[in-house]
Amino acid sequence: MWCEVYELSSRREASAGVQMSSVPRPEYPRPQLRRPDWINLNGVWAFTFDDGDSGLRQRWQETPADLLRSGDSPFDRRITVPFCYQAELSGIGEKAFHDVVWYARTFEYSLAAGAECLLLHFGAVDYRAAVWVNGMQVASHEGGHTPFSADLADAFREGENVLVVRVEDPSEDVTIPRGKQYWREESEGIFYTRTTGIWQTVWLEPVGRRRIDDLRLTPDLDAAAVNVEVSVEGYEPGLSLRLTASREGETVLDDRVELLSPLVERSLPMIASGVAPDTPHLSEWPSPALWSSEHPNLYDLRVELLDERGEMLDAVESYFGMRKVEVKDGKVYLNNRPYYQRLVLDQGYFPGGLLTAPADEDLRRDIELAKEMGFNGARKHQKIEDPRWLYWADTLGFLVWGEIANAYRYSPGYVRRITGEWQEAIERDYNHPCIVAWVPMNESWGVPELATKPAQIEHLLAMYHLTRSLDRMRLVISNDGWEHALTDLCTIHDYRDADALERSYATPAMSIAAEPAGRRIYVPGYGYRGEPILITEFGGIALGGGGEGWGYRTVASSEELLERYEALVSALLKSETVQGFCYTQLTDVEQEVNGLLTYDRRPKAEPSHIKEITARERPG
């Protein structure tokens, strides 16, 4: 077992690529808070199934390095991290239930000069994880899509170390937020193969005792400023921060502030105050470069922590985009202008890797393909996506609706699980300018009895208000599809034909009365308040080829696919009421074959022809 150190340049663009290596997914995994020194622990690990759940009793967590190397340890298999055991790229590719699994590996590291601590990071482990280093437990975490870390100060030793991870993933527990992961061994319909265990990058990071712990960036377009919150670990008097913002290599701001507490809040102007414009035309006065799908302008940010002598203790690189999203007069506004969203439903599954993209380029290519077909964004469906995908959405210009993986049954345990993981997701992804909306609930999953159980309505309200309390700069959808309570957008799922779409969405009143899935658009006690109406699932056209597969409707040829797609999109574009759409879907996934692309990302029709339809101007 071994590991390798990678270094990145200080520029944001460098986070897209690192030294070539045989280690899978070698790119830096946390694009919004980057340091140059880190250790990628992806690659081959020792692994075993624990179907009898005997590992803890037999103290597998204390397995020594020599036993691990001998081949006589309980870890009788090998797995390639970060792919789950169900994925072919893991080297195992087994679909049977194994609700408890164990991982182990060794690593060697000596702290470099100036590094006093060693942090261990996990991008995502599904579902419950416990972590030991040299037999000492250093972390535990519940939640299959969000990151966690551990400080190895008390467990780490110079030279060889043993890292052990135990994962519990109850395959049939439908109160666990699992999204599209099926609770049966063979996938069917709209449900897919499960993911158990590590499925995002594992890495080490040497840091100092005094360091930057977190960074929160909130653009304020109307004030032409970005509000910055920096959390500092190891605060003591005399420390200071230096914040430098630049765009395309040109410094636009250089600010220094003395720390009076572990939390620093600053409002940084993106244009120099007091600078007189050199033109009498208001439209040409200085303003920040704005971020949008069409013009994804980004600012680089460097934050340095300095000691009382001005010596640098820590430095992190990040970036932000100046953009604003809001609702006014029944429309969505982006950067103070009405904006029609042309989204595509993206499940985020990959052949060979399932929830894990085989390579960073696969994440980028999905966005490029969607843009080639005229879409300006995606609703990432039932998955909190890899931060690298969000990085590419920021960089390439692609609006994102962030959505949690829902559970299917309501219980107090479900409420605890989903609210905790949702808070972690918002905290992780808050700084990404691409995210313009949050979707904490989908089609009443987890709350199937809204019509008769007031507690479930209260849960909808709680999730809405929780999300708004954590993030005031984005829109929040109450329950995407139907049965909304309070919501910023009225979103409806409708898989009927083009004639039905054209008839149903001529006016707001007709839209609310449509009930295409036999579900009320609003739950009892709540109703339409003038929010923008969007059709956020429709289409689902499968291209028949004689094989097995499932879709909402099937056509026989690429020409017929384009014809049906044009009819559906045209029906929505004709409506003065509908303010955007989300087509189902970007790619086929396993047996669900209603994507515009096959599972291996081959277009089913010429992308330029799809774009002509998707990006068509609305009549009038």
Give residue-wise pLDDT tens across range 312-338.
Answer: 999 999 999 999 999 999 999 999 999
For 560-584, write each residue's pLDDT tens digit.
Answer: 999 999 999 999 999 999 999 999 9
Residue 1: per-residue pLDDT: 29
Specify the DSSP class assigned to residue 579: E
Statement: the pTM of the whole predicted model exceeds 0.85: yes
Q: pLDDT-derived band of residue 5, with 50, 70 and 90 as boundaries?
A: very low
CA distances from 398 to 337, 370, 372, 393 (A): 17, 9, 12, 5
For residues 319 and 12, the answer to whether their CB atoms sit within 8 Å is yes
What is the separation, in whole angstroms, between the first and last Cα of the chain? 64
CA gap 565, 367 in Å, rounded: 20
CB neighbour list of residue 243: distance below 8 Å, 6 or more residues apart: 228, 230, 253, 254, 255, 256, 257, 266, 268, 301, 302, 303, 304
For residues 27 and 15, the answer to whether their CB atoms sit within 8 Å is yes
For residues 167 and 53, the answer to whether their CB atoms sit within 8 Å is no
Burial tier of 45 (Cβ tally within 10 Å: 0-12, 13-18, 19+): buried
Token pair of 409, please?
Answer: 């049954």
CA gap 219, 399 in Å, rounded: 16
Counting residues of the chain whose pLDDT is more than 90, the rounded percentage is 89
Range 577-604 burial, b when 16+ CB lie within 10 A, else e: bbbbbbbbbbbbbbbbbbbbbebebebb
Q: pLDDT-derived band of residue 274, with 50, 70 and 90 as boundaries?
A: low
Burial tier of 283 (Cβ tally within 10 Å: 0-12, 13-18, 19+): exposed
β pairing state of 325-328 and 331-334 = antiparallel
For 522-555, write each residue's pLDDT tens digit.
Answer: 999 999 999 999 999 999 999 986 567 888 999 9
**Above 90 in pLDDT, residue 7?**
no
Residue 115: per-residue pLDDT: 77
Least confident of 104-108, 276-280, 371-375, 386-390: 276-280
| Element of type H or E holding 390 | helix 387-396
Query: Which residues make beta-bridge pairs with 297?
Result: none
| Element of type H or E holding 217 | strand 211-220
Q: pLDDT-derived band of residue 10, with 50, 70 and 90 as boundaries?
A: very low
CA distances from 516 to 95, 146, 235, 369 (A): 35, 34, 56, 30
CA gap 125, 128 in Å, rounded: 7
**What domains lie within the chain, and their CATH numbers?**
4-207 (2.60.120.260), 211-273+285-320 (2.60.40.10), 325-614 (3.20.20.80)
Residue 285: per-residue pLDDT: 55
Mean pLDDT rounded to a whole number for the chain? 93
Residue 12: per-residue pLDDT: 38
For 374-424, write each residue's pLDDT tens digit.
Answer: 999 999 999 999 999 999 999 999 999 999 999 999 999 999 999 999 999
Residue 452: per-residue pLDDT: 94
Higher pLDDT, 276 or 306: 306
511: nearest Cα among 536, 489, 534: 534
Section 156-185 average pLDDT: 95
Least confident of 111-120, 157-166, 358-367, 473-482: 111-120
Token pair of 481, please?
Answer: 């599809």
